[in-house]
Amino acid sequence: MELLQLEYFQTVARLQHMTKAAEELQIAQPSLSKTISRLEEDLGVPLFDRTGRQIRLNAYGEAFLARVQRAFVELNEGKREIRDLARLNEDIVTLAVSTPRILPGLLGAFLASHPDVRFRQFFESAPEMKRQIENGEVDFCISSAAIEGIDIEWRPLLTEEIFLIVPSNHPLAVRESIRLAEVKDEPFISMNAGYEFRELTDRLCREAGFVPHIHFAGDEPDVIAGLVQQGLGVAFVPALTWLEWPRRASHRLRIEEPACQRQLGIAWSERRYFSTAAERFRVFAFAYFRDVAKRLVREFG
């Protein structure tokens, strides 16, 4: 049984006239007649009652026609769905990040020149991002920890300095820089455990010879900044985050020792096929962070 036979059957059933159906289908009448006969042979029953020169759909034909029409509706829906899906995937970039704070600037700048592109974004830990890349669930991962694995490419995007912020009335607020060990007894306001940034700052404190006293841990950098302004403690802040805070009632200190930096990078699977939109986003991301790096140099030297 073939689609062509079913298509011809629909037309003959609708017109109940072999010659008119053949004209509509733009084929010779004997060809149509033979096609319908083959279909009837396949099914093992006649679909039409033939009386003299007339053909009429019989009970088998009626029942079969209903099924055929439903099948064609399903097939047409399927075609449309696949078409939409194909077009949609062309315009969608899937992205997992461990540092969501970079997204507004990055995506905003990209969408300004590519308004038709849509993003699906996930906030994930580094191990989960690696799994997503390996399973083909995302196009790219942007992370402050290198993602390594078979067929995974990881490239650095930006190296940014990490500062310490203290309340403006804090004794250290008159200084430009400190050694991290100088604040070993200070109350710290920090990101919650599990965040890459928290793991990084804990490691930096260990390198300086102490374990920080965490008085408050949260998910929101803005809340952390607010608590520092209220005089409740000191906190680490990446250069880019500091730059984007509209009000800076707290004081920023450069950390001389140990070297406090973090590197943001982008990872993808070398096996993955990239849509045009994804390919453009990758190129754009490198250019965007080059500009950000220049801005950080201008601002912080």
Per-residue buried b or exposed e for 202-241, using 16+ beta carbons within 10 Å of the residue's own CB = bebbeebeeebebeeeeeebeebbbbbeeeebbbbbbbbb
For residues 21 and 278, which CB has a smaller minimum distance to DNA in the complex? 21
For residues 19 and 169, which CB has a smaller minimum distance to DNA in the complex? 19
For residues 39 and 96, which CB has a smaller minimum distance to DNA in the complex? 39
Tell the smallest beta-carbon distance from residue 7 to DNA (Å). 10
For residues 38 and 272, which CB has a smaller minimum distance to DNA in the complex? 38
In whole angstroms, what is the distance from residue 29 CA to residue 128 CA? 63
Q: Report yes or no: 143 and 263 within 8 Å, Cβ to Cβ.
A: no
For residues 21 and 164, which CB has a smaller minimum distance to DNA in the complex? 21
Q: Report yes or no: 180 and 205 within 8 Å, Cβ to Cβ.
A: yes
Tell the smallest beta-carbon distance from residue 75 to DNA (Å). 18
The interaxial angle of helices 59-91 and 276-300, nearest 10 deg, is 20
Residue with tokens 């880019």: 240
Tell the smallest beta-carbon distance from residue 17 to DNA (Å). 5
Tell the smallest beta-carbon distance from residue 193 to DNA (Å). 51
For residues 27 and 63, which CB has a smaller minimum distance to DNA in the complex? 27
Tell the smallest beta-carbon distance from residue 24 to DNA (Å). 12
Residue 284 CB neighbours (<10 A): 15
Tell the smallest beta-carbon distance from residue 37 to DNA (Å). 6
Residue 118's alpha-carbon distances to 57, 84, 296, in angstroms, are 51, 14, 29
Binding site for DNA (CB under 7 A): 2, 4-5, 17-19, 27-31, 33-38, 50, 52-55
In whole angstroms, what is the distance from residue 45 CA to residue 9 CA? 14
Tell the smallest beta-carbon distance from residue 83 to DNA (Å). 21
For residues 12 and 266, which CB has a smaller minimum distance to DNA in the complex? 12
Closest CA to 153 of 136, 138, 135, 133: 133
Peptide bond into 258 cis (omega under 30): yes
